[in-house]
Chains A and B, each alone.
Chain A
Amino acid sequence: MIKGILVVLMVLVISGIGYAEDFSGGGNSFFLQLLFLAYSLAWVLIIFYVGTLYNRQKRLEDELRFLMKQYQED
């Protein structure tokens, strides 16, 4: 799920940069594009970070559980 959101956001971001560079005349629609770009990049960073952290925690928990079991068997 997170990966999907990230992909969509990244596509938007890249098209945003491309548009912003094309459209150098200024004006409010150009501003809107940049506004959009700023917010999507910010949320990409946050979601990406939380996603990585979540996966890491899960892996650690699994490892800990596995070790516990092994410990009891020993």
Chain B
Amino acid sequence: MIQRGLGFLSLVVVLVALYMAFVYTPPDSFQGDVMRVFYFHVAAAWNAYLAFFVVFLSSIAFLVSKKELYDQLAVSSAEIGVLFTSITLVMGSTWSRAIWGAWWVWEPRLTTTLILWFIYVAYLLIRASIETREKGARFAAMFAIVGFVDVPIVHLSVSWWRSVHPTVINTGGTMAMADVMLRTMLIAVVGFSLLYVYLVLFRYRTQVLTDTLIKFKNVMREVRL
């Protein structure tokens, strides 16, 4: 019931944000209409980082408390995180084609996001390829902690690396924004955050079902024996 409501609410807010992004805001004086990518791009990136922060916290909680709930939360959030990281990359890439003239540019924030994507795909792979459910959960949690600790260092190193070859790319996130645009962006962020919570709950339910099914099968096997 709460989940339904949340889904509906996020849909409404996202639709409002879409309206604002496409109709309410004027085109950017410098970038023109392609600026409108930016609102949801930022919202998706926010979700990606939020998701991975949740994975990090729940992985620690799982290792300390060993409650299955935290692991189920971690895997749900990781999958949604990969989804939103992909969206961030795809939207960033099209924007980059318009403004920088290339589909991909080795800019620090882009590169960090790409590495983030790789780390969490590896996280999902390690879970999927360990046979024992419990061991997979524990190992994945450890990898999530190591991976999350790594992200700031990745960002630092990539920034230094690019600063060796100075590029013209400083316009991305540091540009001054008009109030209208800022408001639109905030609504988009709120909408996507609600969508994130909804999707995590949705994915969480799948995980609970899967785990119940496994347990149930084990019980039945024992009963038959």
Give A residues with C-beta under 8 Å from B: 20, 28, 30-32, 34-35, 37-39, 41-42, 45-46, 49-50, 53, 56-57, 60-61, 63-64, 67, 70-71, 74
| Residues B83 and A45 in contact, CB atoms below 8 Å apart | yes
Contact string, B28-46, partner A, CB cutoff 8 A, digits 1/0?
A: 0001111011001100100
- Is B203 among interface residues, defined by CB-CB distance under 8 A? yes
Q: List chain B residues, Cβ under 8 A from A30.
A: 98
Give B residues with C-beta under 8 Å from A: 27, 31-34, 36-37, 40-41, 44, 83, 86-87, 90-91, 94-95, 97-98, 195, 199, 202-203, 205-206, 209-210, 212-213, 216-217, 220, 223-224
Q: List chain B residues, Cβ under 8 A from A50.
A: 199, 202
| Residues A71 and B34 in contact, CB atoms below 8 Å apart | no
| Residues B32 and A60 in contact, CB atoms below 8 Å apart | no
Known interface pairs A42-B91, A60-B213. Does A31 touch B33 (Cβ–Cβ under 8 Å)? yes
| Residues B90 and A64 in contact, CB atoms below 8 Å apart | no
| Residues A42 and B90 in contact, CB atoms below 8 Å apart | yes
Q: How far is the CA of A38 from the CA of B91 in the complex (A)?
A: 5
A interface majority secondary structure: helix
| Residues A37 and B33 in contact, CB atoms below 8 Å apart | no
Interface centre among B27, B32, B217, B224 (most CB of A within 10 A): B32
| Residues B34 and A45 in contact, CB atoms below 8 Å apart | no
Known interface pairs A42-B90, A60-B210. Does A34 touch B34 (Cβ–Cβ under 8 Å)? yes
| Residues A34 and B90 in contact, CB atoms below 8 Å apart | no
Known interface pairs A20-B97, A46-B87, A60-B209. Does A39 touch B37 (Cβ–Cβ under 8 Å)? yes
Q: How far is the CA of A2 from the CA of B129 in the complex (A)?
A: 30
Look across to chain B and name the residue whose beta carbon is closest to the beta carbon of A70: B220
State the Cβ distance, A43 to closest chain B Cβ, in Å: 9
| Residues A38 and B94 in contact, CB atoms below 8 Å apart | yes
| Residues B220 and A67 in contact, CB atoms below 8 Å apart | yes
Q: List chain B residues, Cβ under 8 A from A63.
A: 213
| Residues A38 and B95 in contact, CB atoms below 8 Å apart | yes
Known interface pairs A28-B32, A49-B83. Does A38 touch B37 (Cβ–Cβ under 8 Å)? yes
Q: List chain B residues, Cβ under 8 A from A53.
A: 202-203, 206
Q: List chain B residues, Cβ under 8 A from A57.
A: 202, 205-206, 209
Q: How far is the CA of A56 from the CA of B210 in the complex (A)?
A: 10
| Residues A67 and B98 in contact, CB atoms below 8 Å apart | no
Q: How far is the CA of A70 from the CA of B185 in the complex (A)?
A: 53
State the Cβ distance, B29 to closest chain A Cβ, in Å: 12
